[in-house]
Each structure stands twice: as structure tokens, then as C-alpha cells.
Amino acid sequence: MKQLILKKSLLFIALIAFLTFGCKDAPKEEVIEETVDVTAFSDADFNALWEKVDALWEQRDPALIHTVYADTFTRAATGGTSTSSEELTNELDAVGEAFPGMTLNLVSYNIGGNMASVIWTVDGNFTGEIAGLKGNGKPYSVKGITVLTIEDGKVVNDDSSWDTFAVFGQTGGYTIVEVESTETE
């Protein structure tokens, strides 16, 4: 009987030891969450920035570029891509020559974190010249969309799109012709 109690005691101790040391949780993998510090952009912040955007495009003054755009920025637009003040100044000059009285109008916007999507229109009379076409003074109104990425209150990325041909369609007197390819197969 003493042996039976001794065997049961040893089994009990072994069971306790097994449960104590054998059933420990496996080491957990360290989970590293990557966070990006995105400062939310408020309505007041957006409206203050948009006033500067409006002034830049209506006045087309290169001195205003750094009130809107960060030192390093990319602007991808229907007319091309600008990544420097010099390239953006060339774009401002081309717009000024073609549409000297253009006005920029905010239609609506949505903010998500440090990004804003903006619907806008430009209005004016086609009195300038673009790509060899002289304006005829007729009015136009074109709607566009812009997605801005903003850091420290300035634009670091500007993706803008609009229908350039709408100006010609609205001002009339221009024929868009399809040019046949001169390449041979």
C-alpha cells in the first residue's frame, strides 16, 4: 500500500511539474505597428490654404508659389508635371497668356487626414493665345478636380485634371481634326 501511495504521489508531482513547466505560453512574436504621423487638416486650414491657391492662380505671381507649395513638391496636371518653382512659373505664364482674366472658383472639397479632394471651376473669356490659337473673347467655364496632399500647411503633391478641350468647344470656331499617322506598318 505504501508503494501505491508513493507511486500516486510521484505521479501527482510529475503532473504538477508538467502543468507548471510544460504548459507555458509559447513566446509571442513582437508585433510592430507602423504608424505615419498624419496631422489632420481642418476646414479652417483648408480655407486658409485655398485663399492662397486662388491668389496664386488668379494673379499668376511666381512670388506666391512658396505660400502654397512646399520646397519639394510635385504637381501633375493636364498640361504636364511641375516639380520646381521654375516649371510652375512656366505653367502660370502659359495660363496667363491664354486666359488673362481667368477666375478660380471653389465648388466643394472633402478632407481626409492630410489630403483634400477639391472640385473647382475656372471662368473667363478666351482673350489670349494658346498653342497658336488666338482667343476670340468668348466666355468659357470649365470644371476640374484636384487632390492635394498637405504637409506643414503646404502642398507636397497636387494631382489636377480638367477638360482643356471644353474651352475650345465653348468658345467655338475651332475644329478638332484627327491627324492620320504617317507611320507604316
- CATH of residue 78: 3.10.450.50
Strands 133-134 and 129-130: antiparallel
Confidence label for 162 from pLDDT (cuts 50, 70 and 90)? very high
Is 33 among the domain residues?
no
Domain extent, residue 125, equals: 43-170
Identify which of 165, 160, 106, 179 has the alpha carbon closest to the alpha carbon of residue 133: 165
Counted domains in the chain:
1
pTM: 0.71
Residue 179's pLDDT is 63
Q: What is the pLDDT of residues 51-110, one digit of tens each?
A: 999 999 999 999 999 999 999 999 999 888 999 999 999 999 988 888 889 999 999 999
Percent of the chain scored above 90 by pLDDT?
Answer: 52
Is 86 among the domain residues?
yes
Is 183 among the domain residues?
no
Q: Cell digits for 153?
A: 500647411
Q: What is the pLDDT of residues 12-37, one digit of tens each?
A: 555 455 555 555 555 666 766 655 55
